[in-house]
Amino acid sequence: MPARLVDRHPEVPADQLVAQMVPPPMFDEVSFSSYIPDPNEPSQAAAVREAEDFAGEVARITEAAKKKTLFGRKKQVSGAGLYLDGGFGVGKTHLLASVFHSAPAPKSFGTFGEVTNLVGALGFAATVERLSGNSVLCIDEFELDDPGDTMLVSRLLTELSAAGVSIAATSNTLPGQLGEGRFAAQDFLREIKKLGSIFEAVRVDGPDYRHRDLPPAPEPSATDALRERAAATPDATLDEFGALLAHLATLHPSKYRELIAGVSAVFLENVAPVTDQAVALRVVVLADRLYDAGTPVTVSGAKLDQIFAADMLEGGYRKKYLRAISRLLALSRFEVPTS
């Protein structure tokens, strides 16, 4: 009988939240040289050059900060800033992870949600203290749809930059929306106007590489076949979709990474479109953690591109939902391990 995610109740100490702020495993070995720009999208090659230049600046700032003034004090140097703005699946996270790998330690990498979770777990002052010695803080998927969280992180970045920490961030824009990338960058810079003068916004265009030349969402499995496959897959989990959604509500999103730790594949029965916003946002976080871990997902019920109700894709959180769909579809095509 396969294990169930709903039977897991992980606890994550605050120190672990800091220690686990590194790129997802699928980005462990990436570099600027391993990014393959689309020849039809010149902005991608330009973005690689900009990111490499930024990484060099991070190293120079770190060295400058080690020098002392005539009075024996460390020289005060402000951090640099890079903002990679583009659509889904154009390699922004690859470039962000490459910045992380090239920067001197200590350094941190996390999603926008993980950064806000860290502040929630440690408190604002302790978070500043923990991160102020970094050479760089890399923030993937910077969000603009929650004013409170955005202002919180803006204040955090202001203080970290003043302490000499460089900041690199990425953000998604909606495909097919002319000008939206520029508006997103402007909104971001406006929200962190104290940092605006040091941030360079770099556009990364192109189609979602996760779905280039790929067929539409795969058909869901029959429930009996799903159960048989889950039972034959070592270290897999099998959950009823509604029960898993209820379980996610009992866990802080900072625990979702630990929830799926060691799971080789996730099987979900009776997937149905999510109609509640709070529930949908939890699904987004889970999808991000599954994608980070490269965990295959197989379902029965509705197709994964129908996991969010149609009217929700028209609301303020639609870019999050579209990102989650993109990632879940990619995971549905991953090879499920066999015994």
- Domains of the chain (ranges; CATH) run 31-211 (3.40.50.300), 214-332 (no CATH)
pLDDT in tens, the chain (339 residues): 789 999 999 988 877 888 889 998 889 999 999 999 989 999 999 999 999 999 999 999 998 877 755 555 666 788 999 989 887 778 899 999 999 999 999 999 998 888 988 888 888 999 999 999 999 999 998 876 666 777 788 889 989 999 999 999 988 653 334 334 444 556 655 665 555 566 788 888 887 665 555 556 788 999 999 999 999 999 999 999 999 999 999 998 888 999 999 999 999 999 999 999 999 999 999 999 999 899 999 999 999 999 999 998 888 788 788 889 988 998 998 888 876
Residue type, 275: T
**Strand (E) positions, 30-179?**
81-86, 107-111, 136-140, 166-172
For 203, list phi and psi in degrees, rounded to 5.
-85, 135
For 284, list phi and psi in degrees, rounded to 5.
-60, -45
Structure tokens at 238: 């099998």
Residue type, 165: V
pLDDT in the model for residue 195: 53
Q: Are 135 and 58 in contact (CB under 8 A)?
A: yes
Sequence-distant (6+) residues with CB within 8 A of 282 are 245, 248, 249, 253
